[in-house]
Structure 1
Amino acid sequence: MRTTRRVAAALLVVAMVGLVLAASSSAAQERPRRREAACRTSVRGSHATADCFNPNPRTDRVQLHVECAHWWDPDMDTHPVEVGPAQYVQLAERCWKEIRKAWVSHR
């Protein structure tokens, strides 16, 4: 009779672990998607370009930021631009010399 209780307890633990794992995987699938435009940034010499497309039903505001490589070259930012649903925008900015880093922020 003791072994029956031990087997039942072990089966109960295994079933509970299975339920917890199933609940966590379904919760991971139900996470909301990010509502940002998809942007691709490219750098060629002293010019940076960002191509953004918004596949979402809500408007996104994008802004290109450029960090210049030299201390005397000022970092540059474009004005924020609204990208409506199913719209495409291209943002461009430049440094006098080389670019260290370029990225897009979303609001």
Structure 2
Amino acid sequence: MRTTRRVAAAVLLVATVGLVIAASSSAAQDRPRPREAACNTTVRGSHATANCFNPNPGADRVQLHVECARWWDPDMDARPVEVGPAQYVRLAERCWKEIRKAWVSHR
């Protein structure tokens, strides 16, 4: 009788663990994917370029930001551009001297 209870408890434990794993994997699949365009930013000297492609069905608005390395060199922001579904855009900005960092924001 004790063996039957142990087997039943082990089966119940395995079933519970299986349900928890199945629930967590289905919850991960139900999470919405980010609806942003995929952007690749490159910096060469004093020039920054961002290439963005939007694989999503909705539009995304992207803007390139450049932070210049020198204190006297003004930081630059490109104008925001709307990237429609399956569209590709290229954004470019520059500093007078070196670039500290460049990034793309989404709206």
**Which residue identity is paired with 1:14?**
V
CA distance in 2, matches of 1:87, 1:21: 38
CA distance in 2, matches of 1:53, 1:11: 50
TM-score scaled by length of structure 1: 0.93
State whether structure 2 residue 12 is matched by structure 1 residue 12. yes
Kindly, what percent of the aligned residue pairs are identical? 86
CA distance in 2, matches of 1:56, 1:35: 6
* Residue in 2 that maps onto 1:69: 69
CA distance in 2, matches of 1:20, 1:90: 45
* Residue in 1 that maps onto 2:94: 94
* Residue in 2 that maps onto 1:26: 26
1:33 partner SS = coil
* Residue in 2 that maps onto 1:51: 51
Gaps of 5+ in 2: none
CA distance in 1, matches of 2:6, 2:85: 59
CA distance in 2, matches of 1:85, 1:72: 39
**Which residue identity is paired with 2:26?**
S
TM-score scaled by length of structure 2: 0.93
Structure 1 segments, 4+ long, off by >2 Å, are none
| Pairwise CA distance, 1:34 | 1.2
Query: How many residues are aligned here?
Result: 107
**Which residue identity is paired with 2:96?**
W
**Which residue identity is paired with 1:2?**
R
**Which residue identity is paired with 1:99?**
I
2:96 partner SS = coil
| RMSD (Å) for aligned C-alpha atoms | 1.1
Further displaced range: 13-22 or 30-39? 30-39
